[in-house]
A = this chain, B = another copy of it.
Amino acid sequence: MGNPPRIAIDAMGGDTGPAVIVAGAARAYRRRSDICFTLFGDEAQIRVELAKYPDMSAVVEIVHGDDVIAGSEKPSQALRRAKTSSMGRAIGSVKSGAADAALSAGNTGAMMAMAKLALRTMPGIDRPALAALLPTLGDNDLVMLDLGANTESNTQNLVQFALMGAAYARVVLDLPLPRVKLLNIGTEELKGTDTLKDAAAILRDADFLPMRFDGFTEGDKISRGDVDVVVTDGFSGNIALKTAEGTARFVTDLLRRAFTSSLRSKAGFMLSRPALHMLKVHLDPNNHNGAVFLGLNGIVVKSHGSADEIGVANAIRVAARMVREDLTRKIANDLDEFSAHNITVAAAK
């Protein structure tokens, strides 16, 4: 892949519209210029924003269209507009080969449905998964999946999620042998559902893969920094991710109340401000932005709807990195290893 990665971007998705999306693209381009963009959406609006970044003109194409998938639309409604909407066309350009990855900050359910239909799951993968990065007390973020692409998962799904999550961690976290654990309600081998116990047994045998499987973890141990990939079904993963986000916000809200409760504590806050800024940066979701759909024949990244330009730039960098390091091929190679070792990880069809 000698050409710079071309990222197809739904310029209309998200809470803020083209302004933040274009600013994010410009920021990603400033950081690393071997990248180019196709922006889908309202051309006039996009041009107004692009005018602020004259250096971008050489690397941006615009594909005009005025159909936008709303955040409240059902996936089934959105699917009907796969060929007209900015989101659908961005994904379609990955399918046609015109772009290397698609990115949107729009409706997650609609995006998943369109991406599945357009790109299909990779051979050997039964169901795609949604993966994201979370902050930890350790040296690197961790990858958690599935975060809600599926509501129920069987043993094969979990094993495939582990394999895809590990490949993603190698690419995006630069870890040659990521530590992988299954999320459970206890760390003892006997804990949890049969689905989890069976998945653990298969992964324990898969020591030929470039990852270290290390059994179970629990909700309160995730962020300690001793695991790089947390694998779970989409229901529990969604609950865990949102509970972590909600609790972080809850604690920082309490902290804000504490600091504003008296003149004295306000003064204390002013003094501690530079140090507290570190805490803010560490927890800021924009610094961990970019959830990815793994297991499709093509790269699709979801930027958070409320991400700022830093967040959008981070999501774009994640997408470009997956293209440059050919994540899809890495996952395919790992699946081949499984077959070579006569371990079946695809469900009978």
A239 CB-CB contact with B under 8 Å: yes
CB-defined contacts of A257 to chain B, threshold 8 Å: 278-279
Is there an interface contact between A220 and B193, defined as CB atoms closer than 8 Å?
A: no
Tell me the A249-305 residues at the B interface (CB within 8 Å): 249-255, 257-259, 261-262, 264-265, 267-276, 278-279, 282-283
Which chain A residues numbered 81 to 105 have a C-beta less than 8 Å away from chain B? none
Check B248–A275 contact: CB distance below 8 A: no
**CA distance in complex: A116, B228 (Å):** 38
Query: How far apart are the CA atoms of A19 and B247 in the complex, in Å?
Result: 33
Question: Closest CB of chain B to A79's CB: distance in Å?
Answer: 15
A interface, by DSSP: helix, strand, loop or mixed? Answer: helix
Which of A151, A223, A251 counts the most chain B CB atoms within 10 A? A251
Q: Choose from B238, B262, B272 the contact partner of A269 (Cβ within 8 Å).
A: B272
Say if the beta carbon of A243 comes within 8 Å of chain B.
Answer: yes
Q: For A135, list chain B residues within 8 Å (CB).
A: 250
Closest Cβ–Cβ distance, residue A181 to chain B (whole Å)? 13
In the complex, are the beta carbons of A219 and B192 less than 8 A apart? no
Chain B residues near A137: list those with CB within 8 A. Answer: 250, 253-254
Instruction: List A residues 189-226 near B (Cβ within 8 Å).
Output: 190, 192-193, 218-224
Asked whether A183 is an interface residue with its Cβ less than 8 Å from the other chain, the reply is yes
Q: Does A235 contact B (CB under 8 A)?
A: yes
Which B residues are CB-close (under 8 A) to A282?
254
Q: Which residues of B contact A241 (CB under 8 A)?
A: 219
Q: How far is the CB of A274 from chain B (nearest CB, A)?
A: 7
In contact, B274 and A265 (Cβ under 8 angstroms): yes
Which range contains the number of A residues in contact with the other chain? Answer: 35 or more
Question: B-facing mask of A226-239, CB < 8 A → 1, else 0?
Answer: 00000010111011
Task: Please tell me if A329 contacts chain B, counting CB pairs below 8 Å.
Answer: no
Please indicate the chain B residues that have their CB under 8 angstroms from the CB of A222 in the complex: 243, 246
Contact between chains at A276 and B258 (CB < 8 Å) = yes
User: Is A239 a contact of B219 with CB atoms below 8 Å?
Assistant: yes
- Please give, as numbers and ranges, the residues of chain B lying within 8 Å of A253 by CB-CB distance: 137
Whether A321 is near chain B, meaning CB under 8 Å from some CB there, is no
Residues A246 and B223 in contact, CB atoms below 8 Å apart: yes
Q: Are A243 and B254 in contact (CB under 8 A)?
A: no
State whether A152 touches B193 (Cβ < 8 A).
Answer: yes
Shortest CB distance A78–B (Å): 14
Residues of B contacting A278 with CB < 8 Å? 254, 257-258, 261
A74 at the interface (CB under 8 A from B): yes
A275/B246 contact (C-beta < 8 A), A137-B253, A151-B193 known: no
Q: Which residues of B contact A152 (CB under 8 A)?
A: 193
Residues of chain B lying within 8 A (CB to CB) of residue A251: 247-248, 251-252, 279, 283
Query: Given the interface contacts A219-B243, A236-B235, does A272 sit within 8 Å of B258 by beta carbon?
Result: yes
Q: List 13 A-B contacts (CB under 8 A).
A: A137-B250, A218-B238, A219-B238, A221-B242, A223-B246, A224-B250, A248-B250, A251-B283, A254-B282, A254-B283, A258-B279, A262-B275, A272-B272
Other A-B contacts than A137-B254, A251-B283, 11 sampled, CB-CB below 8 A, are: A193-B235, A218-B242, A219-B243, A219-B245, A220-B243, A232-B239, A243-B247, A254-B282, A254-B283, A258-B272, A268-B272
Q: Which 3 pairs show the lowest CB-CB distances between chains A and B?
A: A219-B242, A268-B272, A268-B271
